[in-house]
Structure 1
């Protein structure tokens, strides 16, 4: 009764004091869930929250994006040091600024460089003796010899992503085999082919490798990934002979702009351990070797996540999708009503589905989703023009917790309000338009 009779300003003060009375561990846990921009707002409120937000534990899973480093003062660098930042993404950096960064942040474990224009930048990286993850987004200005000769010094690397690199021969590529702690390897080339024998040697001599991402433009007649255990050392580069693994143990495989024809029969024997498969192909390749990709899907008994980007037509191999599937992303691909019905029968365990920019199905099928996919917890229909009736039919999906209908410009405010009332606000509804292409890029990088 006393609180009700107080002025509004006093009530706000009391509520703030109640918040500060919460245990510090609980407040820290709450702040950890906030995005960086919101953390900064909390930090600006008072000295108590300033110290709380600057705790290293709050930032241990955050990546700081640094641009125009020359504009940062000493106070900024002191804050980053206090937070013990271990992951950064650097844009438009020069050598002098690069030296400043490494001097103030010697404990970096994860580094992403947008544009690699100088070999000296890589050489300076050797100061980071504990570096575990290295992502070079654009390496086209340097030769593969300049890049690889520096990268192989980081023996603690667990993740290596090289984009825009050109391997003119296998003599440089094969040196990656010395990085025995690699868990993830990504090679995105700007040429027509990767050196096949050298690639095979590298993959079979990385015992901890679990994630592989490859991108290179191939002709329809070129076969790349036989992926069978090489008979011998193809190129001499070291006096120490590494012992190969008898079989790859990949958990995640991503292939982009490579063509279905690279998935040869010998390659199929290396796929049984894969849980996540991502493919992004030039559409013309689909008609060239559909049967091969169908065989690939049949040879994935442990597949739980399938991401298909810009495939001509899913109908042709929907029958081969395994029943173990839990997450499915089909972006920019034709998907008919009958294919969705078949998918419902085959993959009844599906809990997450993303149909961004996909087409070929109609409103009648969408209204049947509560029956076709009753276990879905997340559904994305971004880019599909929805009606109010379709949205309300989605409210019948009892397991649904997130629904993305960005781009559904025909939806009315009344329908959105009715959806929230019908679902008792248990579903997080995304309705504002955002860049769909950005989502696709994010999926590929993941």
Structure 2
């Protein structure tokens, strides 16, 4: 007799299961053998990564078989035993993404066992023996985070051997990477598209540095963590193709004597004619650099402590085609100004704001955003579920609303959230 679940084609079930969370998939999987087979289909686990901490020693063979059926290619390893790392390499030969946390020199020796590695992240390690990577020419993504005993020279020497890198992240390494070393990194890694640095700026650094030589950098995304001042005003001329700029500033709007952060940011923004995404955490007041924000901007994130209605209007005037806006103005709040967002940013498709101190009427005014697809609420409130439902009714259920808590990407590091959240 045919099981009722088999009356529908597997493609239909696959589509239904695609809407389930990881926990929901696990519940459905134990219902019957047929569902277990369907749930383990690779299409339902695309871009999914597993965290392995070996709490009870080695995993059972059927566990590895399940991961292979799902064609899992990303693993976060939280173990200090080389045997466990070798088990992963042997059991998942198709692994392309590996995150190693809390590793030592012996653990890094095991890197040679991963033959298909394309993305590697090392966190909280005392040493960097990247020469153990089996196929260095295959590596396209490299991230080094929280390496307190590694110097600038050792770090740069270790990374520039990977000539095909498209993405490089160097976070919280000793005292940071001097900004002047960016030129060296770009020259050594010609295919680099994304660069993230925990930067340092010596007090004696010059306002500018030489950019007279022709620059062939392909860099399109730059992230600078723990920014302080002074900064070279002409730095962006090294990266003329930049489309995404992220700046996590150490200081708030109170400018220190002798520094000119507002003029630096204005000059940087005015030199980026192809910029489409801008992320700013703290730093100078918005009014100091808003006039330099390019009209090409499509995605803007502001995590700042002061933001007035006048600032909002000024930003809107500079960004007529903005589609994604993330406003986190804590400890201040948007309040009734939320109702002005549909008028100032009518083309928004995604919006992220805090709900605190926003009156009900002003919150519901967001239904006027005709193109809005996703609304992300950054804080919790007991009234949210009811108001969210009312808002969805007003939008005829076209709006998707995200509320805390959010599921964090296990492949991402905690460097930024640890410093600024």
**TM-score exceeds 0.5:** yes
Rounded Cα–Cα distance in structure 2 between residues aligned with 1:182 and 1:435: 28
Question: Could you say what secondary structure the match of 1:113 adopts?
Answer: strand
Query: Is contact 2:324–2:351 with CA below 8 Å preserved after alignment?
Result: yes
Bigger mean CA deviation after superposition, 277-286 or 354-363: 354-363
Query: Is contact 1:374–1:398 with CA below 8 Å preserved after alignment?
Result: yes
Instruction: Say which of 32, 36, 61 aligns to 2:22.
Output: 36
Query: Is contact 2:280–2:301 with CA below 8 Å preserved after alignment?
Result: yes
Question: Could you say what secondary structure the match of 1:64 adopts?
Answer: strand
Rounded Cα–Cα distance in structure 2 between residues aligned with 1:324 and 1:442: 30
Deviation at 1:317?
0.9
What is the aligned partner in structure 2 of residue 235 from structure 1? none
Instruction: Say which of 210, 216, 221 aligns to 2:199.
Output: 216
- Structure with the bigger percentage of helix: 1
Quickly say closer, same or farther: Cα 1:97–1:149, change in 2 above 3 A: same
Deviation at 1:150?
3.2
- Highest RCO, 1 vs 2 (Cα 8 Å, sep ≥ 6): 2
Deviation readout 1:333-387 (Å, 9 max, x if unpaired): 3222111001111101111111124465643422111111111121111263322
Rounded Cα–Cα distance in structure 1 between residues aligned with 2:212 and 2:31: 60
Larger Rg: 1
What is the aligned partner in structure 1 of residue 249 from structure 2? 281
Instruction: Say which of 270, 274, 277 aligns to 2:238.
Output: 270
Instruction: Say which of 183, 196, 215 aligns to 2:166.
Output: 183
Rounded Cα–Cα distance in structure 2 between residues aligned with 1:71 and 1:87: 18
Instruction: Say which of 405, 409, 418 aligns to 2:390.
Output: 418
Rounded Cα–Cα distance in structure 2 between residues aligned with 1:290 and 1:345: 19
Bigger mean CA deviation after superposition, 209-218 or 338-347: 209-218
Rounded Cα–Cα distance in structure 1 between residues aligned with 2:262 and 2:203: 13
Query: Is contact 1:384–1:405 with CA below 8 Å preserved after alignment?
Result: no
Deviation at 1:96?
2.1
Instruction: Output the TM-score relative to the length of structure 2.
Output: 0.85
Deviation at 1:229?
8.4
Query: Is contact 1:211–1:250 with CA below 8 Å preserved after alignment?
Result: yes
Query: Is contact 2:141–2:165 with CA below 8 Å preserved after alignment?
Result: yes
Quickly say closer, same or farther: Cα 1:332–1:197, change in 2 above 3 A: closer
Instruction: Say which of 331, 346, 350 aligns to 2:318.
Output: 346
Query: Is contact 2:233–2:268 with CA below 8 Å preserved after alignment?
Result: no
Instruction: Output the TM-score relative to the length of structure 1.
Output: 0.81
Quickly say closer, same or farther: Cα 1:192–1:169, change in 2 above 3 A: closer
Instruction: Say which of 12, 20, 31 aligns to 1:45.
Output: 31
Quickly say closer, same or farther: Cα 1:323–1:444, change in 2 above 3 A: farther
Note the residue ranges of structure 1 that are not aligned, 5 or more in a row. Answer: 1-13, 231-244
Instruction: Say which of 69, 83, 103 aligns to 1:82.
Output: 69
Instruction: Say which of 45, 68, 79 aligns to 1:59.
Output: 45
Within 5 A, what are the aligned runs for 1:319-398? 319-358=291-330, 362-382=334-354, 384-398=356-370
Deviation readout 1:122-172 (Å, 9 max, x if unpaired): 111111122100011222x22xxx434435962210000011235535365
Question: Could you say what secondary structure the match of 2:143 adopts?
Answer: strand
Query: Is contact 1:273–1:302 with CA below 8 Å preserved after alignment?
Result: yes
